[in-house]
Amino acid sequence: MGLRWYHFAMWAGFIALMYAMPELVSKGTLRTFIFANFLAVFAISWDVLSGRTGYISFGHPFLIGIGAYTTAILTKRFDVAIEISIPIAVVVTMIASTLFILPALRIRGSYFALVTLAFMELIYQLVQVIRPDLTGGTRGMSGIQTLTRGAVNGYYMSLSLMLAVAISMWLLMRTRVGTALSAIGMSEDSVLGSGLSTTRLKLFAFLTGAFVAGLGGAFYVHYLGSIAPRALFDINFVFTIIVAALIGGSSTIIGPMVGAFFLTYLLEYLRPYLPGAERYFIYGGIALLLYMYQPKGIYHIVMQAWERFKPGKSA
């Protein structure tokens, strides 16, 4: 896979730093980090599904929500153990993602983005009216079993999840399948003309993205202990995920992580000045400027500098 010593060194340094974090920062900051970890998982998932293939999903919370609701309902209403309900939630999310593949086989570009947005709106409406005794209707659910107590444990849990997802996706996307998925985003016709079944590749991207989204959604709901449809199936949430992936750097794994931490921090930093949703004004403004300046994201800006003094300048 072309792993080099500095890959190991960077991952090791990063992991060590992240695990030492509870010693270095306050509990309040740690809570911010927890959100950043989850956001990184969602952004990586979005990037695997959309960032590479160019099939932009504006309905990612649809997948996250299915994972979250499945495990929440199973544990709370049917007393299923978490160890069983989370895998089920992941599988259900992956099955639900095949609903995305149907439009992706026939339509491209803007149309696909719209269908996914409609999917999110549909499920938002559905959870409120179909079996509110199970879903909690408009108010959602609370008192869902949590996996951890306290900020420190919550942090370790979210960090481990994030690292597991990041490293496995990083390894997966370094193989030729990552190249093939990115190729779809650049010219789908040429991928087909290279003899590769784009249907199968897209299905793979959607299933992998859904796997991560479902996993992230399930863990997230067992961290929060509650679920609220309005906050989950929200255009602001879509926006935060996509911007994290893009600002950091699409088609990479580090990029969405960087973006998630950058944005969570920005949002937290703005809190004293702008306590409510109006924070998104500045947040969005910065995102827009960064995006218009360099659509490939922060990762790309840093990489250009790195290329200049890369150890063992061979490839």
Among the candidate windows 17-25, 82-90, 151-159, 274-282, which touches other proteins by CB under 8 A? Answer: 274-282
141: β partners: 227
Instruction: Read off the amino acid at residue 208.
Output: T
Q: Is 167 in the site for other proteins (CB under 8 A)?
A: no
Indicate the burial class of 197 (C-beta count within 10 angstroms; 0-12, 13-18, 19 or more): exposed
Q: Is 285 in the site for other proteins (CB under 8 A)?
A: yes
Nearest to 49 by CA among 176, 204, 215: 204
Please select the residue that binds other proteins; options are 26, 142, 190, 304, rule is CB under 8 A: 190
Indicate the burial class of 107 (C-beta count within 10 angstroms; 0-12, 13-18, 19 or more): middle
Question: Looking only at residues 231 through 250 of this chain, which bind other proteins when binding is defined by CB under 8 A?
Answer: 235-236, 238-239, 242-243, 246
Please select the residue that binds other proteins; options are 88, 177, 302, 303, rule is CB under 8 A: 177
List CB contacts of 153: < 8 A, sequence separation 6 or more. Answer: none
Q: Is 15 in the site for other proteins (CB under 8 A)?
A: no
**What's the rounded Cα separation, in Å, for the pair 151 and 161?**
15
The residue (of 13 and 285) whose beta carbon lies closer to other proteins is: 285
- For residue 47, give the DSSP letter: I
Please select the residue that binds other proteins; options are 15, 21, 117, 147, rule is CB under 8 A: 117
**What's the rounded Cα separation, in Å, for the pair 46 and 265?**
20
Please select the residue that binds other proteins; options are 49, 144, 180, 210, rule is CB under 8 A: 180
CA dihedral of residues 226, 231, 233, 237 (deg, nearest 10): -120
CA distances to 20, 178, 295 from 24, in Å: 7, 36, 33
Q: Which tokens in the block code for residue 140? A: 């959602």
Q: Is 307 in the site for other proteins (CB under 8 A)?
A: no
The residue (of 45 and 85) whose beta carbon lies closer to other proteins is: 45
Packed helices 198-224 and 27-46: angle between N→C axes, nearest 10 degrees = 160
- Closest approach, Cβ 262 to other proteins, in A, equals 15
Among the candidate windows 65-73, 151-159, 182-190, 259-267, which touches other proteins by CB under 8 A? Answer: 182-190
Nearest to 267 by CA among 289, 247, 283: 283
- Closest approach, Cβ 177 to other proteins, in A, equals 4
Q: Is 115 in the site for other proteins (CB under 8 A)?
A: yes
| Helical residues (DSSP H) of 175-234, grouped into ranges | 176-186, 188-193, 198-224, 229-232
The mark string for 125-154 relative to other proteins (x by CB under 8 A, - otherwise) is: xx-xx-------------------------
- Closest approach, Cβ 117 to other proteins, in A, equals 6
Q: Is 111 in the site for other proteins (CB under 8 A)?
A: yes
Region of residue 80 (left: phi > 0; alpha: psi -120 to 50; beta: else): beta
Q: Is 119 in the site for other proteins (CB under 8 A)?
A: yes
Query: Which residues bind to other proteins, rule: CB under 8 A?
Result: 1-2, 54, 56, 58, 102-103, 106-111, 113-115, 117-119, 121-122, 125-126, 128-129, 172, 175-177, 179-180, 182-183, 186-187, 189-197, 200-201, 204, 235-236, 238-239, 242-243, 246, 251, 274, 276-281, 283-285, 287-288, 291-292, 295
